[in-house]
Amino acid sequence: MPVNPADSPIFGALYGSDAMRAVFDDMAFCQRMLDVEAALARVQARLGIIPAEAAAAITEAARVENLDVAAMRASVANVGYPVVGLVAGLSAAVDALGTPHGGWTHWGATTQDIMDSATSLQVRDGLALLRADLVAVVRALATQAAAHRTTLMAGRTHLQHALPVTFGLKLATWLAPLAAHVERLDQLAPRACAVQFGGAAGTLASLGEHGLAVMEGLGAELGLTVPDAPWHVGRDGLAEAVGFLGLLCGSLAKIATDVILLAQNEVAELTEPYVHGRGQSSTMPQKRNPIASEYILASTRAVQALVPLMQGAMAGDHERATGPWQAEPLAIGQAFVLAHGALLHARAIAEGMVVDTAKMRANLDLTGGLIVAEAVMMGLAPLLGREAAHHVVKHACDRALTDGITLAAALGHESAVTARLDAAAIAALVAPGAYLGSTDRFIERVLGRARGIT
């Protein structure tokens, strides 16, 4: 029975994906360990260390359905690790083929070699799933940013109107770190997906002169990178992978936070894609709650809470850790499942967001032009001097707020302004679309980065 909702047949769709759970579930891990054992046998056969017939039999028998789950469970409870039971089951399956080669399994390896290499295979597959959906989000946001590069809206700082921006710039701000995350993923994958093969204490003494050749061959056979030395107590690659998931979710959480704020009834500029019944209330029929964004935030908090666990596991003692390493399975699978769930929610938002451009413009105009006060000040500064311009515009803003008039009208009462500018010039100063600075160039730079992602 699942305890974590991310693994629940009922609640799991909110927190993760079946595809990622299939990568990291118990049976998948057992199969990956068997894959490592079979690959090891094939490499050793090619090097003349074990008979070719043994490698063929081990490969044929290395299927998870050949394992006795009850026996594995009993062995793990007694030994503390799964590999002893797994090797026993594999050896028995080899012998059951009618060949006397079961004794050649696990030749020269140690428990952590098999478990860590299996974990590397899982991480490789998990990163590939994440990359596909991350690229989809990047492409969807790039499309939206291009479509809305000139859509005016209020830029907000401290939740207050600040300056005019475009929705395209906001989307580009969401997009930029996600494009960088694709690059990060591609850079970290070789470090996080490395073969582990070091034998009992990281020397491969049991294989004599063949140790390094077996390690290199095993990496090639499994499609994993080959490290300079065994990493039994060098856990930085796996810690980096989960740390990356924390960064990715942090960027998704920024998007989710903005979506939630923009979806408030009082703002109503953007909503999540509508599906009948989604986000509904059991008592309030009008509700369309931002469910996807809410679960992005929940998953992010959980993933980021797992990052310190992985970093703490890096403090391994001597040549094999007594505790820190064993904490990693509590974090890796859950972090990948939750991160993928958050990413899928973000993909749904990016591809189907509902944008109300009219409401964006109405909210921009809500303060009667006060949002362009800086633009007016900068426009008057060459005429009045910066300090004097600030004073005049501040006085005009106070008048606008007190009298309930527009900033343009308030400026019309300032003699220092009217002595130099006519009504048309004042209107040009308060036009929001005229004060966007490098907005379009920033958007194009981000879109250029996104176009280079394949």
Which tokens is 408 given?
Answer: 């343009």
**pLDDT per residue over 286-319, tens digit each?**
657 889 999 999 999 999 999 999 999 999 999 8
Burial class (CB in 10 A: 0-12, 13-18, 19+), 131: middle
Cβ count near 179 (within 10 Å): 24
Cβ neighbours for 377, distance < 8 A, ≥ 6 positions apart = 386, 389, 390, 393
Evaluate the CA torsion angle 97, 103, 107, 113 in order and state its sign: positive
Q: What percent of the chain has pLDDT over 70?
A: 97
Active site residue 320: yes
Please compute the mean of the pLDDT values over residues 188-192 and round it to a whole number: 97
Q: Which CATH number fits domain 112-194+231-365: 1.10.760.10, 1.10.600.10, 3.40.605.10, 1.20.200.10?
A: 1.20.200.10
* Residue whose token pair is 């004042």: 426
Q: What percent of the chain has pLDDT over 90?
A: 87
Give the C-alpha separation, 33 to 319, whole Å: 22
Give the C-alpha separation, 289 to 264, whole Å: 9
Q: Where are the domains of the chain?
A: 16-109+200-224, 112-194+231-365, 370-429
Query: What is the reported pLDDT for 411?
Result: 93
**pLDDT per residue over 25-60, tens digit each?**
999 999 999 999 999 999 999 999 999 999 999 999
Which tokens is 45 given?
Answer: 């056969």
Cβ count near 366 (within 10 Å): 12
Give the C-alpha separation, 8 to 269, whole Å: 35
Give the C-alpha separation, 91 to 319, whole Å: 28
Which of 63, 131, 288, 320 is an active site residue? 320
Query: What is the reported pLDDT for 161?
Result: 94
Give the C-alpha separation, 221 to 211, whole Å: 15
**pLDDT per residue over 232-274, tens digit each?**
999 999 999 999 999 999 999 999 999 999 999 999 999 999 7
Q: Is the pLDDT of residue 117 over 70?
A: yes
Q: Which CATH number fits domain 370-429: 1.10.40.30, 3.90.550.10, 3.20.20.150, 3.20.20.140?
A: 1.10.40.30
Please compute the mean of the pLDDT values over residues 215-227 and round it to a whole number: 97
Cβ count near 323 (within 10 Å): 11
Please compute the mean of the pLDDT values over residues 410-419 and round it to a whole number: 91
Which tokens is 394 given?
Answer: 């501040």
Which of 281, 301, 445, 451 is an active site residue? 281
Query: What is the reported pLDDT for 277?
Result: 58
Q: Is the pLDDT of residue 172 over 60?
A: yes
CATH topology of domain 16-109+200-224: Fumarase C; Chain B, domain 1 (1.10.275)
Please compute the mean of the pLDDT values over residues 311-337 and round it to a whole number: 92
Give the C-alpha separation, 53 to 46, whole Å: 11
Q: How confident is the model at residue 276 (pLDDT cuts 50, 70, 90)?
A: low
Give the C-alpha separation, 176 to 370, whole Å: 30
Which tokens is 92 given?
Answer: 């028995």
